[in-house]
Structure 1
Amino acid sequence: MHRIATAGWHTVLLFLLLQSFAVSAAERFTIEDIEVRGLSRLEQGTVLSYMPLVVGDELNSETAQQTIRELYDSELFADVRLLREGNTLIVEVTERPQIASFEIEGNEQIGGDELTESMTSLGLAEGEVFKQSLLDQVSLELRRQYFANGFYDVDIDAQVDELPNNRVAISIDVVEGESARIRSINIVGNEVFDDDTLRDVLALSETNWMPFQKSDRYSKQQLGGDLESLTSYYQDRGYLRFMVEDVQVQLSPDKSGIYITVSVDEGDVYSVSDVRFSGETVLNEKFLDALVTTSAGETFSRRKATESADRIESALANVGYAFAEVRPVPEPVEGDERAININYVIDPKKRTYVRQIRFRGNAGTNDETLRREMRQLEAAPFSQSAVERSRVRLDRLSFIESTEVDTQPVSGTDDLVDVIFTVKERPPGSVQVGVGFSGADGFLISGSVTHANFLGTGNRVAVNLENNAFSRQVSLSWTDPYFTEDGISQTVSGYFRKSDRIIRFSSGFSSNVLGGDLTYGIPISEYSTLRVGAGVSETSIETFAGQTSDEVIDFVSENGKRFTAFQLRTGISRDTRNRTIFVTRGNLIRLNADIVVPGSDLRYFSTSLTTQHHIPLPFEFIAQVNTSLGYVDTYGNANTVPPYENYFAGGTRTVRGYRDGTLGPRDTPFDNPFGGKLRTTSQTELIVPLPFEADGQSTRFSLFFDIGNVFAEPGDFETGELRQSAGVAFRWFTPFLGILNLSYGFPLNEEPTDETDRFQINFGTGF
């Protein structure tokens, strides 16, 4: 047996450089067979697949070197030798150990699941081949990350334990120690702004007396972000040439304290002399001027310049230039060292068209049901605003929980994109039997069969049955949101209601109502809808001697106990809300006017105006203002409004802190709430973000101020009679009880005759 070439891991580099193990010319031979020795886990075919030699090739100095090099490059072997027995090439290898287990312990501050996944992708995982160099590299990188996050006293111990069958167990034990705290942040070179003002700009801060302080923990990444914030602070105030000249981070000898020194050069304040546009502007220059907020004569602001560039990009994206780029370039003004011109360099790229619109995640919804909500069309120029509006319209569907949109360039083209909407569906149908509670109606038992996306068409079918201490009712409805291709909706409904009283306070009569409605919603713009409909109802009431109020007796005397009413319904609404439940921004304004038309047994009309305003505030707070104004009255020769059509106030929907339905006029002689013709209420809330609620779509906590009342006649209205309350409220969208409303209100100007109820609760479907 002749040794042809050999190399271990400690001599590989020397082998590659000096070729000291090359086969001499006299040892050249033609390979008649290849045999691999030393394998334990690998198959011989695996080794042969990495070799550049096959039977019939000639082994010489060059091919021997190449063979050893490529086997080492596979990183499967710790040692490789080439031997010769006759004309048989013997490849003798020592396999690298296999990782039997890999664990990292003690790393609470760095890593977690992301670190484990990263280690797996690098090859440090069970079943992979072990490489000491990779383990050393990982240990160094882990230590670097700890240092970058202020843990300078960290101890990292990597252990490799040999196991039978050429396997190893790897464990990395981390003792993190205490993070170094920032003892001082010193800013040098600042003359315009003092140190305290500039420190307030930074997220990092010096250690102070505050408990649980985290801002004093040093992080290299956070320091980089703070330096950028400092630069932005100056450049937003005109210091265009501001620079951070030097940053020094010093560690105390005991590794517990960090001292940061930032040297700055403030430079001069620059003003804007002129604004111009260059490149391929595409849009009319007057239109571009309206998008820009950097006016001539004012102090330069990088923030305003960047915002103006973003507005121009958005405007271009709305007319098909999806990948437009706009750069605000400050240019010096000749003869004035402290003035600049802002040149908005516009590169619209090629105009982009939409090839396809696709939907993902809509397992229970027909493609056409989603496609009809699109404001972006296929084969049309791409429009960012149309795509965003399409996403919002999908979000507003009751059977869609959330929508994400992705714009993907079409491979091989530079002017086509595909728009992909990924939806997350809510369960569209439910069969519920449950209980609920309302301050106005008490406990109720209800059953419902509802499907908001019947057969994937978006049609809504609902059957509801309800029973409480004072009334029983059943209703059926069918809504087709696209009764016509133009988006006209149609709702057909029927109902039967038997009630012992108006609300939970009796005025001594009962009623039975049987009726039906047909209503159409006609879109007149993207956000506005016209409501037109008609209804018919048959009502009968019954009075009781000695128990019925004078007001009800007067109504019966004038109109009798049984009457048919034909009603015409009209209205208009404008809705810009981003969602229908737990709205975060947008407004709703709805004006309705309904009239019982001549030919009916009654003569009355009702009008109502409701508004909702949702204003996003800093730090994820939301201001919400809901107002309502309602008025009902008779016309013709009628004098008395039906008592069941009166308005009521008090409770969670109007003025919290006062018992449901108790505000306003009362009947005689029983002094029960009777309602009135005019109601005006307003609810103002500050919605506070909850730390355990990421998206705000299931729970809400708010501080509120309510004001309102009911008046027998419009002429009775007095601002001094408006009841006020303040308090806290909590809402929770429950899986089984619908929306749970809890509130605790403090009446602010109650009268001795008012009925107050500080803690109020409503839950149950339909509330």
Structure 2
Amino acid sequence: MKLRILPLLVSTLFATAASAMEPFVVKDIRVEGIQRTEAGTVFNYLPVKVGETMSDEKAAQAIKALFATGFFKDVRLEQDNDVLVVTVQERPAIAQISFSGNKAFPSDKMKDGLKQIGLSEGLIFDRSMLDKAEQEIKRQYLSQGKYGAKVKAIVSPMERNRVAVRFDIEEGMVAKIKAINVVGNQAFTEDELLQQFNLTTPNWITWWTKDDQYSKQKLSADLEALRSFYMNQGYMDFSIDSTQVSITPDKRDIYITVSITEGEKYTVSDVKMAGEMLVPEDELRKLVTVEPGEYFNRQKITESSKAVGDRLGDDGYAFANVNAVPEVDKEKRTVAFTFFVDPGRRVYVRRINLTGNTRTRDEVLRREMRQLESAWYSGSKIERSKQRLDRLGYFSDVNVETPAVPGTTDQVDMNINVTEKSTGSVMFGAGLSSAEGVVLGVTINQANFLGTGNRVSAQVNTGKVNTTYSFSFVDPYYTPDGVSRGFNVYRKDVDSSSLNVGSYKTSSYGVGVNFGVPLNERDSFSYGLTVDYTDLTLSSTSSTRYLKYCDFNTSGCDNTTLRLDLGWAHDTRDNVLYPNKGVLQRINAEFGLPGLDQEYYKLSYQHTWYKDLTKNFTLMLNGEAGIGGGYGGKDLPFFKNFYAGGVSSVRGFDTSSIGPRAFDTGTSSDYAVGGTRRVVGNAELFFPIPGMKDNKQLKLSAFVDGGTVWGGEDNTTTGCSGASDCLRFSAGMGISWYSPFGPIKLVLAKPLNEKTGDKTQMLQFQLGSQF
């Protein structure tokens, strides 16, 4: 058999043959050398089929096509009589990828990253990909500030034409920002300007925040914050001339230098409005907060444009465009603005589409909608609908889009995509309070029972003072109008021996029903009835005040109460957990209805006001007042008295210790008796911990508290009598952390007008939630 090799080998891959060959008709094709590749794959890339004529030109095309697949590192074409023989040498496959020396990133995450660039176990090995892989791994380490990281790829052959790839990594040390310098500033000190930066030099908290590690993205954000700072102070011509980032030869220290030109400060000379204003100009003009005579402020310009656009959006003009066009006078250093209003076409919402709610029923989401289908588009109603879905607590993310309907000019759809989260939980908790000691509890809670939006909860709490067992069920939409109905059953035991209020024990059992009525978006009214049975346990050494309530029965007494609860709430806070602005008002009334053992009333009012003084500072003012008493010839039960003092009222004083005190001759000790009147006031300034500017869950505060309790029986009281005599003040610092385990509060307070006999606590704390 005669074998002739075509003069087209890998060394002359796409060149002309060294010596010509005579064309021949291919009667058969044979493939040799393949191990993993299917023969059909080779046949598909050949430009000649059985029965066709093979030539030098077609041979060159065949070799080029087979090399282009990336499967082979050598290809030869041979002629065996009239048989075309294709001999290939396959590239090895990657059998294993491993890493050594990596601590910052787990190996499986690094493998996922390499897969994105085409290097993965089971794929054909391509040596050119190694450099790309090394650079990708280095890039990951650079993102963590490890500029001295070294990566070396080692390839080891294995049996059956396979290779193992190992990346040897030297991570090196994290490079820290040694200094940040701003050059060219005159109006502001460098310290003032660096307050605008998130990046910083190492301090006591950067081990956690990582803000001392350089990042190009973070620096870009800081430079934009610096630009905004100057623009909001009137420096319209401000510019950043250059930014230099240098690193020391040992790759451990980074120096950042920012060169700026402040320019001149501009004053607003005039503000006008123009365009098609479909809303009365006076109404739109009130939304523009920029006034002539004040310094230029870019933030006010942007907010004013948005406010005017949002107002037009409430009337259906979803695509309103408001542009503030400046007229600059550089000689006088003034700027006039004209707000051009283009409302566009009025549109309405054709359809509301819901996606992502695999467990929650559609009706649970749709009943929260304030924007209705086939109604005019309203930006505020759409935003309110999103807020109401967020406040349900059923979803980790709520995304709302309003795309235009194809083929129309006056319709949009409202597409709502939600990401559901687990709403059921079984929590075993532990807390620690300076008042109650160790608090243990278990809570079984389902906030979205079977996807209906109904709330079911069962709780068991055990503490030194309070022990509670309860079960509750709430249907938030008992009626289509949003009236809620709830049922609750409870048992509550109180042992006051560890407090400063005298020693007694109560066991209360109750069952109740309550309703909540929404008056509008921010106001609600609630009412309910509860039947309560309370067993009061005393002893021969109990105080005279307590024995008198039980007609001097030393073993105690019991009573049954039909309790009516009424409440009104007004809530405009921007966030329930971390409010920065808004108002919370509450009025609560509790009545022991006539006909049973206890006939009394308790009224309380709370007004809390939040104001964001700056981006990072929030002022909170809180005022509370309460009054109670009996009727039908009866007094307010002593265990229903108001008390003050402790973490939740007047800090620095022991829990429930402020107000009149009684001396018990039996125990030769005095104790707080509470009162029928209560007033508490708090002023607190919240601000971030230095070095943690954007952490909303961990904040410091400085506060001043004041409060008093008075009223009721005073024939045996000591210490104070009357509102002014019992009034106490304190001041101090606090730290609040909404941790994954619940809220943690720690305060250091100093009483300002402590008197003889007062019970004080300089350090007070509350760790964890009382479930």
Distance (whole Å) between structure 2 residues aligned to residue 549 and residue 590 of structure 1 = 36
Per the TM alignment, residue 711 of structure 1 is displaced from its structure 2 partner at its CA by 0.6
Indicate how the Cα distance of structure 1 residues 332 and 149 shifts in structure 2: closer, same or farther if over 3 A, else same.
farther
Aligned residue number for residue 718 of structure 1: 724
Does the 8 A contact of 1:511 with 1:539 survive in 2?
yes
Aligned residue number for residue 570 of structure 1: 566
Instruction: Tell me, yes or no, if structure 1 residue 117 matches structure 2 residue 112.
Output: yes
Indicate how the Cα distance of structure 1 residues 176 and 58 shifts in structure 2: closer, same or farther if over 3 A, else same.
same
CA RMSD of superposed structures (Å):
5.3
Indicate how the Cα distance of structure 1 residues 195 and 488 shifts in structure 2: closer, same or farther if over 3 A, else same.
closer
Aligned residue number for residue 708 of structure 1: 707
Per the TM alignment, residue 42 of structure 1 is displaced from its structure 2 partner at its CA by 1.7
Instruction: Tell me, yes or no, if structure 1 residue 631 matches structure 2 residue 631.
Output: no
Does the 8 A contact of 1:502 with 1:644 survive in 2?
no
- Map 1:452-471 to 2 at 5 A: 452-461=447-456
Residue aligned with 1:718, SS: helix
Per the TM alignment, residue 680 of structure 1 is displaced from its structure 2 partner at its CA by 1.8
AA in 2 matched with 1:750: E
Aligned residue number for residue 608 of structure 1: 604
Aligned residue number for residue 592 of structure 1: 588
Deviations 1:724-757 (A, max 9, x none): 364646677787xx87776665544332212335
Indicate how the Cα distance of structure 1 residues 101 and 491 shifts in structure 2: closer, same or farther if over 3 A, else same.
closer
Deviations 1:632-690 (A, max 9, x none): 1245x636333232212233433344343333223465443322111122455566768
Distance (whole Å) between structure 2 residues aligned to residue 500 and residue 390 of structure 1 = 45
Distance (whole Å) between structure 2 residues aligned to residue 260 and residue 580 of structure 1 = 40
Instruction: Tell me, yes or no, if structure 1 residue 80 matches structure 2 residue 86.
Output: no
Indicate how the Cα distance of structure 1 residues 61 and 230 shifts in structure 2: closer, same or farther if over 3 A, else same.
farther
Residue aligned with 2:401, SS: strand
TM-score with structure 1 length normalisation? Answer: 0.77
Aligned residue number for residue 674 of structure 1: 673
Per the TM alignment, residue 348 of structure 1 is displaced from its structure 2 partner at its CA by 5.5
Instruction: Tell me, yes or no, if structure 1 residue 750 matches structure 2 residue 747.
Output: no
Per the TM alignment, residue 606 of structure 1 is displaced from its structure 2 partner at its CA by 1.9
Distance (whole Å) between structure 2 residues aligned to residue 123 and residue 614 of structure 1 = 54
Deviations 1:171-190 (A, max 9, x none): 444556675977885746x7
Aligned residue number for residue 400 of structure 1: 394
AA in 1 matched with 2:753: N
- Map 1:301-700 to 2 at 5 A: 301-315=297-311, 318=314, 328-330=324-326, 339=335, 341-342=337-338, 344=340, 351=347, 353=349, 355-360=351-356, 363=359, 365-380=360-375, 383-397=378-392, 400=394, 402-407=396-401, 409=403, 415-427=412-424, 451-461=446-456, 477-493=472-488, 516-535=511-530, 547=542, 549-550=544-545, 553=548, 556=551, 567-577=563-573, 586-596=582-592, 603-613=599-609, 626-635=622-631, 638=633, 640-667=635-662, 669-670=664-665, 671-683=670-682
Per the TM alignment, residue 308 of structure 1 is displaced from its structure 2 partner at its CA by 3.3
- Map 1:159-174 to 2 at 5 A: 159-173=154-168
Q: Which moved more, 1:207-216 or 1:487-496?
A: 207-216
Corresponding residue pairs, total: 749
Does the 8 A contact of 2:424 with 2:445 survive in 1?
no
Residue aligned with 1:290, SS: helix
Structure 1, unpaired ranges of 5+: none
- Map 1:185-196 to 2 at 5 A: 187=183
Distance (whole Å) between structure 1 residues aligned to residue 543 and residue 205 of structure 2 = 67
Residue aligned with 2:671, SS: coil
Distance (whole Å) between structure 2 residues aligned to residue 247 and residue 546 of structure 1 = 78
Distance (whole Å) between structure 1 residues aligned to residue 69 and residue 426 of structure 2 = 57
AA in 2 matched with 1:677: T
Deviations 1:336-385 (A, max 9, x none): 8964545557585884736334253653x444334323334445455554
AA in 1 matched with 2:65: E
Distance (whole Å) between structure 1 residues aligned to residue 705 and residue 518 of structure 2 = 33
Distance (whole Å) between structure 1 residues aligned to residue 743 and residue 226 of structure 2 = 46
Aligned residue number for residue 38 of structure 2: 43
Residue aligned with 2:672, SS: coil
Does the 8 A contact of 1:509 with 1:548 survive in 2?
no
Aligned residue number for residue 20 of structure 1: 16
Per the TM alignment, residue 500 of structure 1 is displaced from its structure 2 partner at its CA by 8.1
Does the 8 A contact of 1:508 with 1:549 survive in 2?
no
Indicate how the Cα distance of structure 1 residues 515 and 136 shifts in structure 2: closer, same or farther if over 3 A, else same.
closer
Q: Which moved more, 1:605-614 or 1:576-585?
A: 576-585
Does the 8 A contact of 1:567 with 1:597 survive in 2?
yes
Does the 8 A contact of 1:530 with 1:573 survive in 2?
yes
AA in 2 matched with 1:404: V
Distance (whole Å) between structure 2 residues aligned to residue 447 and residue 83 of structure 1 = 80
Residue aligned with 1:68, SS: helix
Residue aligned with 2:566, SS: strand
Residue aligned with 1:756, SS: coil
Indicate how the Cα distance of structure 1 residues 82 and 408 shifts in structure 2: closer, same or farther if over 3 A, else same.
farther
AA in 2 matched with 1:128: L
Distance (whole Å) between structure 2 residues aligned to residue 143 and residue 518 of structure 1 = 63
Deviations 1:400-441 (A, max 9, x none): 3744324374896773342112231232567x7x99887777
Does the 8 A contact of 2:645 with 2:653 survive in 1?
yes
TM-score with structure 2 length normalisation? Answer: 0.77
Deviations 1:107-148 (A, max 9, x none): 778998776533211112222222233333454677789899
Per the TM alignment, residue 150 of structure 1 is displaced from its structure 2 partner at its CA by 8.6
AA in 2 matched with 1:756: T
- Map 1:91-130 to 2 at 5 A: 91-103=86-98, 116-130=111-125
Distance (whole Å) between structure 1 residues aligned to residue 304 and residue 155 of structure 2 = 58
Does the 8 A contact of 2:473 with 2:486 survive in 1?
yes
Distance (whole Å) between structure 1 residues aligned to residue 544 and residue 204 of structure 2 = 68
Per the TM alignment, residue 304 of structure 1 is displaced from its structure 2 partner at its CA by 3.3
Residue aligned with 1:553, SS: helix
Indicate how the Cα distance of structure 1 residues 230 and 587 shifts in structure 2: closer, same or farther if over 3 A, else same.
closer
